[in-house]
């Protein structure tokens, strides 16, 4: 009951005109930063961090600046889906899985449906996450603490398992794709031994490792565009839609077809989000994989399934709120964006950590209240802007293709200000196009480069703990069951194959 009263008072503070105004501005800025390929919430929050000192000098206290940053974070999470759907380039790393089905929907003339489903699923994910956060923050902090190295590795193994089925029926090609991604993930300095690995041609650009966004924009921006040009020489086959507010309302009604993906994404995203090592990108990819695996219409995934848009979008919003939990209750950021938020809190004179909730309730509850408010503002702003975003689709392909090319280049550069990344992105794009002609699935490679850098150190830290004994993944109470489930899922396609063979011979 105390929680509800505290929350209510928090919401009232978040609704004060100055705070509400900051939330609206933050959401709009975040929406556009998120929609720009390459720029994600981390860039938006980092760029505007200094601006919060101006806000603080007007309002005093840390509440209003934090509300501003949190609403940028929210807006960016919604925005990431926009370019994933309309242009096929992931707006941020968290929205990569949204392109898998969002793009096919757009090509089929249903971009408005995809955008509406993405917005509503995001809203649902964030709401579920907010409720869990409000009710169980201290308890969930203990859950996060109980996940050590073997547990995180088991979870990453589970994420891989959900994706084995994603590459289609050609298992050798899927395995090749995963292995390619894993090798790319080992490039750079190894944190366990401190030695450089796979620094090709001694280029310093390889020392920081291959950034996930570089591969993702290459594959989905440049590669996809070349594929489109190759398959439709006469121009785009994208159907043009007249979008009115009526058709948006019509699309809202279709959202109920995506309830499964939304539910899976909301729950899974939050859980993965509260673990400091994981974050929103693995969360959204896992939600997509599990939605596909458990769906009765799994064949539609990748061709324009509404669940395929809803699952990753619900998950990335849910995970983003979830990632606030270890930051606020443990002082440990779960993602690059929360790391910047944490730095902000330190600068404003707060001490995030186990005592934040008891020592600083006047900061915590208005912030949590603002999560609810920002979420409402974000879904409203997003739905209002949908007709604007759809104008992009009315452009003839002769204009759209160069635009995608330019956005891919600028987006890759903007993320880390590194020309090396831009060249690498172009090479990945051309490579992805060639592999696609040869019918290699690329999603598993993208997944591997996200999960590889998380899974590998956790595997090796676990084996250091156990002196090289793999039983550590089976004997620990939390890691054990997760590992077993993951292995069963990996073996599932094999079992199916054997069953089919037996049936044919029978």
Partner 1 sequence: MKSIKSLLVGAVGIALAATSLSGIANAGSHGWEPTKPVDFIIMAGKGGGADKMARLMQAIVEEENLSNRPLVPTNKSGGSGAEALVAAKNATDPDHTIMVTLNSFFTTPLRNPGIKVDIQTFAPVGRMAEDTFLLWVHKDSGITSIGQFLTKVKAEGNKWVMGGTGKNSEDNIITDHLNKQYGLNIKYIPYKGGGAVAKDLAGKQINSSVNNPSEALGFYEAGTVVPLVAFTDKRLPMFPNVPTLGEVFVGGKQAPWAYYMQRAVVGAPGMSEKAQAYFTDLFTKVYNSKKWQAYKSKKSLMGEFMAGDELKAYWTRQVDNHRAILKASGAIK
Q: Using CB under 8 A as the criterion, which residues of the chain lie in contact with partner 1 when the complex forms?
A: 28-29, 32-33, 36, 46-51, 53-54, 57, 144-149, 188-189, 191-194, 196, 204, 207-209, 276-277, 326, 330-333, 336, 338-340, 342-344, 346-347, 351-356, 388-389, 391-392, 395, 416-417, 457, 461, 464-465, 467
Contact between 70 and 371 under an 8 Å Cβ cutoff? The reply is yes
315, 367, 377, 378: which is closest to 341 by C-alpha?
367
Burial class (CB within 10 angstroms; exposed 0-12, middle 13-18, buried 19+) of 395 = middle
- Name the minimum Å distance from CB 467 to partner 1: 8
Please say which residue, 194 or 477, places its beta carbon nearer to partner 1: 194
Please say which residue, 79 or 165, places its beta carbon nearer to partner 1: 79
What is d(CA 24, CA 375) in angstroms, rounded to the nearest whole number? Answer: 10
Please say which residue, 27 or 217, places its beta carbon nearer to partner 1: 27
- Name the minimum Å distance from CB 131 to partner 1: 25
Contact between 37 and 221 under an 8 Å Cβ cutoff? The reply is yes
What is d(CA 114, CA 17) in angstroms, rounded to the nearest whole number? Answer: 33
- Name the minimum Å distance from CB 2 to partner 1: 20
Token code pair at residue 422: 């831009």
- Name the minimum Å distance from CB 344 to partner 1: 8
336, 364, 272, 308: which is closest to 103 by C-alpha?
308
- Name the minimum Å distance from CB 474 to partner 1: 17
What is d(CA 189, CA 225) in angstroms, rounded to the nearest whole number? Answer: 33
- Name the minimum Å distance from CB 146 to partner 1: 6
- Name the minimum Å distance from CB 32 to partner 1: 5
Please say which residue, 88 or 302, places its beta carbon nearer to partner 1: 88
C-beta atoms surrounding 392 within 10 Å: 18
Please say which residue, 119 or 340, places its beta carbon nearer to partner 1: 340
Please say which residue, 136 or 420, places its beta carbon nearer to partner 1: 420
Please say which residue, 168 or 353, places its beta carbon nearer to partner 1: 353
Query: What Å distances lie between residue 67 and 72, 178, 488, CA to CA?
Result: 9, 40, 44
Please say which residue, 144 or 443, places its beta carbon nearer to partner 1: 144
What is d(CA 238, CA 419) in angstroms, rounded to the nearest whole number? Answer: 33
Query: DSSP class of residue 340?
Result: H
What is d(CA 232, CA 228) in angstroms, rounded to the nearest whole number? Answer: 6
Please say which residue, 240 or 499, places its beta carbon nearer to partner 1: 240
Please say which residue, 121 or 330, places its beta carbon nearer to partner 1: 330
Token code pair at residue 358: 């008891």
The set of residues, in sequence order, having a beta carbon less than 8 Å from that of 166 and lying 6+ positions away, is 174, 288, 289, 292, 302, 441, 443, 444, 447
191, 179, 188: which is closest to 214 by C-alpha?
188
- Name the minimum Å distance from CB 277 to partner 1: 7
- Name the minimum Å distance from CB 144 to partner 1: 8
Token code pair at residue 12: 């009232």
Cα radius of gyration (the chain): 22
Token code pair at residue 265: 């994404």
State the helix-helix crossing angle for 336-347 and 306-330, rounded to 10 degrees.
30
Max Cα–Cα distance, the chain, nearest Å? 79
Please say which residue, 48 or 215, places its beta carbon nearer to partner 1: 48
- Name the minimum Å distance from CB 263 to partner 1: 29
319, 242, 245, 334: which is closest to 284 by C-alpha?
319
For residue 188, the SS3 value is: strand
What is d(CA 316, CA 436) in angstroms, rounded to the nearest whole number? Answer: 27
- Lookup result for tokens 């690329």: 442
- Name the minimum Å distance from CB 250 to partner 1: 23
- Name the minimum Å distance from CB 462 to partner 1: 9
Please say which residue, 229 or 478, places its beta carbon nearer to partner 1: 478
Strands, E assignment, 151-303: 188-189, 196-197
């Amino acid at each position: 009951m105390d929680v509800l009263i505290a929350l209510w008072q928090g919401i009232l503070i978040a609704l004060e005109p100055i705070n509400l105004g900051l939330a609206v501005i933050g959401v709009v800025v975040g929406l556009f930063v998120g929609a720009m390929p390459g720029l994600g919430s981390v860039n938006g929050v980092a760029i505007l961090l200094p601006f919060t000192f101006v806000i603080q000098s007007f309002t005093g206290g840390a509440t209003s600046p934090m509300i501003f940053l949190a609403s940028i974070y929210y807006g960016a999470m919604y925005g990431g889906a926009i370019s994933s759907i309309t242009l096929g380039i992931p707006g941020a790393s968290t929205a990569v899985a949204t392109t898998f089905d969002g793009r096919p929907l757009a090509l089929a003339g249903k971009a408005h449906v995809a955008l509406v489903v993405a917005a509503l699923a995001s809203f649902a994910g964030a709401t579920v996450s907010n409720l869990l956060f409000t009710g169980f923050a201290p308890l969930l902090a203990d859950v996060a603490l109980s996940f050590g190295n073997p547990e995180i590795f088991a979870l990453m193994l589970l994420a891989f398992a959900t994706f084995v089925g994603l590459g289609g029926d050609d298992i050798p090609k899927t395995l090749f794709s995963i292995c390619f991604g894993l090798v790319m993930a080992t490039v750079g300095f190894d944190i366990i031994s401190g030695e450089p690995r796979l620094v090709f041609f001694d280029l310093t650009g390889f020392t920081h490792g291959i950034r996930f966004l570089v591969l993702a924009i290459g594959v989905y921006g440049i590669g996809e565009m070349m594929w489109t040009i190759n398959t439709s020489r006469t121009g785009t086959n994208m159907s043009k839609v007249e979008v009115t507010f009526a058709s948006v309302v019509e699309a809202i009604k279709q959202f109920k077809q995506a309830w499964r993906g939304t539910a899976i994404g909301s729950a899974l995203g939050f859980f993965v989000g509260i673990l400091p090592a994981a974050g929103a990108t693995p969360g959204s990819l896992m939600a997509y994989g599990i939605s596909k695996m458990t769906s009765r219409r799994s064949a539609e995934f990748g061709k324009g399934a509404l669940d395929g848009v809803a699952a990753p979008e619900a998950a990335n919003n849910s995970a983003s709120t979830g990632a606030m939990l270890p930051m606020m209750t443990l002082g440990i950021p779960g993602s690059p964006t929360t790391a910047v938020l944490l730095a902000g809190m330190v600068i404003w004179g707060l001490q995030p950590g186990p005592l934040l909730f008891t020592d600083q309730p006047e900061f915590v509850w208005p912030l949590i209240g603002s999560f609810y408010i920002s979420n409402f503002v974000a879904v409203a702003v997003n739905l209002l802007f949908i007709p604007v975003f759809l104008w992009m689709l009315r452009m003839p392909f002769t204009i759209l293709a160069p635009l995608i090319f330019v956005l891919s280049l600028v987006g890759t550069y903007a993320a880390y200000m590194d020309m090396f990344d831009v060249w690498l992105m172009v090479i990945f794009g051309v490579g992805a196009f060639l592999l696609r002609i040869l019918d290699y699935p690329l999603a598993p490679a993208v997944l591997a480069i996200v999960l590889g850098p998380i899974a590998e150190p956790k595997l090796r830290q676990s084996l250091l703990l156990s002196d090289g004994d793999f039983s550590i993944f089976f004997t620990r109470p939390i890691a054990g069951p997760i590992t077993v489930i993951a292995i069963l899922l990996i073996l599932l396609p094999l079992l199916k194959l054997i069953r089919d063979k037996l049936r044919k011979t029978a």
